[in-house]
């Protein structure tokens, strides 16, 4: 019986060491949730996507424009609009990673019928882009070289 007792003691000591080691390992793998004031705590992180859209319709000129950004992981945009009975001016600045779409539609100013489109522009961007878009639609105003003069 004396020989069995050291074996039992070794088994008990081994079990205690294994228990202590597993507790230490479990303590390392436990994630502490807290704030910035606790250096051992982890803050939540998540994958965020941005979305933004703007629509403009100048009824007096039968002209519409839109910009839309979706699924953007980075998005910084700026937009300036001017619209009156004789002209519409749109300036869009954007820096984004994601999907961007810019559309313009100019109908016949007299009828406004969708069957009589004067211009339709559609830009779609997928990826990493920096853009500076500027469009001016002016009613019955072009100079002799074909470029828009002062409004």
3-state helix, strand, coil in the chain (%, to 5): 15, 50, 35
Interval 111-134 mean pLDDT: 86
Q: What is the pTM of this model?
A: 0.58
Instruction: State the chain's mean pLDDT as an integer.
Output: 76
**81-115 pLDDT per residue, tens:** 888 888 888 888 999 999 999 998 888 877 767 77
Q: Are strands 117-138 and 50-58 parallel, antiparallel or unpaired?
A: unpaired
Domains in the chain: boundaries:
1-45, 50-138
**Helix and strand counts by DSSP (H, E) for the chain:** 1, 4
pLDDT at position 24 over 80: no
How far is 92 from 120, CA to CA, in rounded Å?
Answer: 17
pLDDT at position 60 over 70: yes
How far is 67 from 79, CA to CA, in rounded Å?
Answer: 10
Task: Give me the pLDDT at residue 151, please.
Answer: 47
């Amino acid at each position: 019986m004396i020989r069995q007792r050291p074996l039992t003691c070794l088994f008990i000591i081994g079990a205690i060491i294994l228990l202590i080691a597993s507790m230490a390992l479990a303590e390392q793998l436990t994630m502490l949730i807290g704030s910035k004031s606790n250096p051992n705590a982890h803050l939540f992180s998540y994958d965020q996507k941005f979305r933004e859209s703007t629509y403009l319709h100048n009824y007096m000129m039968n002209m519409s424009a839109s910009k839309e950004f979706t699924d953007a992981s980075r998005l910084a945009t700026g937009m300036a609009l001017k619209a009156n009975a004789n002209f519409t001016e749109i300036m869009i600045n954007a820096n984004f990673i994601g999907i961007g779409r810019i559309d313009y539609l100019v109908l016949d100013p007299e009828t406004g019928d969708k069957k009589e489109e004067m211009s339709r522009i559609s830009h779609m961007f997928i990826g990493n882009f920096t853009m500076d878009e500027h469009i001016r639609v002016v009613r019955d105003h072009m100079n002799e070289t074909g470029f828009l003069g002062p409004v």
